[in-house]
Amino acid sequence: MTAVFSRRAVLVVRLAVLALLGLCVATVLLFVWRARAYEQLGEPITQPIPFSHKHHVGDDGIDCRYCHTTVETAAHAGLPSTAVCLGCHSQLFRDQPLLALLHRSEASHQPIAWQRVHVLPEFVYFNHGVHVAKGVACVECHGRVDQMPLAWRARPLQMQWCLDCHRDPAARLRPTSQAFSMDAPLPPPDQAGLLAREAHLESRRRMTDCSTCHR
Ligand code: HEC
Ligand code: HEC
Ligand code: HEC
Ligand code: HEC
Ligand code: HEC
C-alpha cells in the first residue's frame, strides 16, 4: 500500500509541531523572566551575613559612599570589601557569631559572596555616575534603603520604568547635594525647571534612543 502522506510531508509537519512547541516554551520563559522582576519587588534577599542598612544607615547615619565608593565616579556602585567592614568590626562586636563569616573571609582572603538584589540583563548599559552627577538620588531608584533590615528591590527596573523617567526627568531631580539623602523631598515644580536647566540635560531624543542603553 502506498503511504497517504509522503515522507517529506510528514517531516514538514513534524518540524512545524516542533517549532510551535519551541515557540510556546520561549513565550512561557519570557513571561516567567518578566514576572520574576515584579515578584522580587519588596522581597528581602537573604545574605550570607544579615547586613542591615536600617542599622548602619538609618540608625548610625553612615554615608552610602563609605561602602559604595565608586557610585559617583563609575558605572557600578561597588560593594564594600571585608576590610571596610572590619574598619569598625575588628573592634566593634568582634565576637558576635553573626560576624564570624567576616573574620573567616579576612583569614582566607575570600570576599563575602553577597547575593545581588538588582541585576540588569547584560545587553543593558547602566551608569550610576551620570545619574548621581545630574541629581537623580539613590532613593528614586532604590527606595528607602535606610529602612531596610535586609535590602530588597524597590523598583521593577523594567525598560518602561527607565523610559518613563528618561522622557521627562526634570521633575525627578534634586540638588546634587541631596543625591544621597533618603528623605529630602522632591523640589517644587518651579525649582525643578531651574535644576533641569542647571543640569544641562541631554535631549529627550538622546535619552530615549535605543543605543543609549543598548550599546
Ligand atoms: C556600612 C556599609 C554600607 C553602607 C553605609 C551602605 N551600604 Fe548599601 N550595601 C552594603 C552591603 C554589604 C551590601 C550587600 C548586601 C545587601 O545587599 O544588603 C549593600 C547593598 C546595597 C544595595 C543592593 C545592591 C544589589 O545587590 O543590587 C543597594 C541598592 C544599596 N546597598 C544602596 C545603599 C544606599 C542608597 C546607601 C546609602 C543611603 C547604602 N547602600 C549604604 C553596605 C553598605
Ligand atoms: C537611575 C536609577 C538609579 C540610581 C539613581 C541609583 N541606582 Fe543603584 N542601581 C540601579 C540599577 C539599575 C542597578 C543594577 C545595575 C546592574 O545590574 O548593572 C543598581 C545597582 C546598585 C548596586 C549594586 C552594585 C552595582 O553597582 O551594580 C548598589 C550598591 C547601588 N546600586 C547603590 C546605589 C547608591 C548608593 C545610589 C545613590 C548614590 C544609587 N545606587 C543610585 C539604579 C540606580
Ligand atoms: C562605620 C562603622 C561600621 C562599618 C564600616 C560597618 N559596621 Fe556593622 N555595625 C556598626 C554599628 C555601630 C553597629 C550596631 C548597629 C546598631 O545596632 O544600630 C553594627 C552592627 C552590625 C551587625 C549586627 C547586627 C545589626 O545589624 O545590628 C552586623 C551583622 C554588621 N554590623 C555587619 C557589618 C558588615 C557586614 C559590614 C561591612 C559591609 C559592616 N557591618 C560595616 C558599625 C559599622
Ligand atoms: C528617575 C529618573 C531616571 C531613571 C529611573 C533612570 N534614569 Fe537614566 N538618566 C536620568 C538622567 C537625569 C540622566 C542624565 C542625562 C543627562 O546627562 O542629561 C540619565 C542618563 C542615563 C544614561 C547616560 C545617557 C548618555 O547620554 O550617555 C544612561 C545609559 C541611562 N541613563 C540608563 C538608564 C537605565 C538603563 C535606566 C533603568 C534601569 C535608567 N537610566 C533609569 C534619569 C533616570
Ligand atoms: C533608558 C534605557 C533604555 C532605552 C532608551 C531602551 N531600552 Fe530596551 N531595555 C532597557 C532595560 C533596562 C531592559 C531590561 C529590562 C526589561 O526586562 O525590560 C531592556 C530590554 C529590552 C529588550 C528585551 C525584551 C524586553 O522588553 O524585556 C529589547 C528587545 C529592547 N530593550 C529593545 C529596545 C529598543 C528597540 C529600544 C529603542 C526604541 C530600547 N530598547 C531603548 C533599557 C532601555
Instruction: Answer yes or no: do 74 and 6 share one domain.
Output: no
Domain count, the chain: 2
Instruction: Identify whether residues 60 and 162 lie together within a single domain.
Output: yes
- pTM, entire model: 0.90
pLDDT in tens, 78-109: 999 999 999 999 989 988 898 999 999 999 99
- Looking at all shown ligands, the one closest to residue 136's CA atom is 2
- Please tell me the predicted confidence (pLDDT) of residue 28: 86
Q: Closest Cα partner for 165 from 213, 111, 129?
A: 213
My answer on whether 70 and 7 are in the same domain is no
Domain contains 102: no
Residue that the C-alpha cell 535644576 belongs to: 195
Are 153 and 67 part of one and the same domain? yes
pLDDT digits (tens, 9 = 90+) for 101-133: 999 999 999 999 999 999 999 999 999 999 999
Pocket of ligand 2 (CB under 6 A): 64, 68, 71, 76-77, 79, 118-120, 126, 128, 131-132, 136, 138, 140-142, 157, 179-180
The protein residue whose alpha carbon is closest to atom 24 in ligand 1 is 117
Residues with CB under 6 A from ligand 3: 49-52, 55-56, 59-60, 62, 67, 80, 84-85, 87-89, 92-93, 98-99, 102
Residue of 143 and 34 predicted with greater confidence: 143
Distances (CA, A) of 202 to 13, 122, 126, 209: 53, 24, 16, 11
Which domain does 141 fall in, by range? Answer: 53-79+114-213
Q: Are residues 136 and 188 in the same domain?
A: yes
pLDDT at 214: 97
162 lies in the same domain as 118? yes
User: Are 33 and 121 in a shared domain?
Assistant: no
pLDDT in tens, 162-185: 999 999 999 999 999 999 999 999
The answer to whether residues 57 and 145 belong to one domain is yes
User: Taking 60 as the threshold, does the pLDDT of residue 37 lie above it?
Assistant: no
Residue 109 lies in a domain: no
